[in-house]
Amino acid sequence: MLNQQNQSGKLGKYYLNVQNPRTVRLSGQISQFIPEYKDADIIVLAGEDATFSVGSILRPKAKTPYKVNIISKLFGSNGMVVGYDLSLAQLNLSSIFAAPMLGGNRKLFLWDSNFVNAFIGTKEDQDVICLLYRFSPEPLFQKFENALESFRTFKYKIDTDSYHTLYVFNIPETSKSSYEKFINSEYSKIDDIIKLKILDYHGFSMDGQTAKVLYKSTALKQELENKLDCSIPTEQELHSKIRPELEIFNEDYYYTPKNLLESRSKFNVKID
């Protein structure tokens, strides 16, 4: 937990704990919060002491606002709801399959402390790999930013708002074939060396779900057939196709204003 905010009211104490650069967790006395839905998605948590809604801005600390785009339930071992995750976004497929094509691993890329998501393009730029980070004034992040800008494949960076920066890279020559396979949702056709790089980047084992998708595990195929009650053709990939609306950076979706009254101006572009 990066930081925590305690609140108490007539119905008891609740907590806002930062889980990662995308998510703040609501826990404690949560029985007061009643979910309101649109279709199957929670859009409001209405409580007597506080209300949290999609589109709102949380402040676990005064100078660290978090925009809420997704509200999801957190279940305990007994199946009961024990909290709610209030998130800017969920990790997308580009963060799993495309980000490792730049090399390194999660630790080197500040995955737990600053990394938000990866993308395979912006509205203006395609055939790139983009990494979105929550900005930090800490010296470690400044050194990290300098390191990113020294990459041979580094193209430019964008300050998407006062709290986030998008770093855009050309695709490394050694990854171009695998990148094309990924954007075509042909996960099992990614080059073997890149498959191993993906698993090593995340610290995933050969028995994990991602490896089973990359290597078209017979066991996973059987599991999916049983779950879906159908026969999956041999040539079929064992993961759903990528959704461009999640894999292409959308500046409006991720934009986090200083406050809800702040006007939305075109984001600043820095080309180095």
Q: In this predicted structure, what is the pLDDT of residue 13?
A: 86
pLDDT digits (tens, 9 = 90+) for 232-260: 999 999 999 999 999 999 999 999 998 66
Q: In this predicted structure, what is the pLDDT of residue 5?
A: 60
Q: In this predicted structure, what is the pLDDT of residue 189?
A: 98
Q: In this predicted structure, what is the pLDDT of residue 2?
A: 45
For Cα atoms 194, 198, 202, give the angle at the middle one, nearest 5 degrees: 165
Q: In this predicted structure, what is the pLDDT of residue 6?
A: 61
Q: In this predicted structure, what is the pLDDT of residue 60?
A: 85
pLDDT digits (tens, 9 = 90+) for 95-138: 999 999 999 999 999 999 999 999 999 999 999 999 999 999 99
Low-confidence ranges of the chain (pLDDT < 50): 1-2, 9-11, 263-272
Q: Can you tell me the distance from the alpha carbon of 90 to that of 156, in angstroms, rounded to the nearest whole number?
A: 24
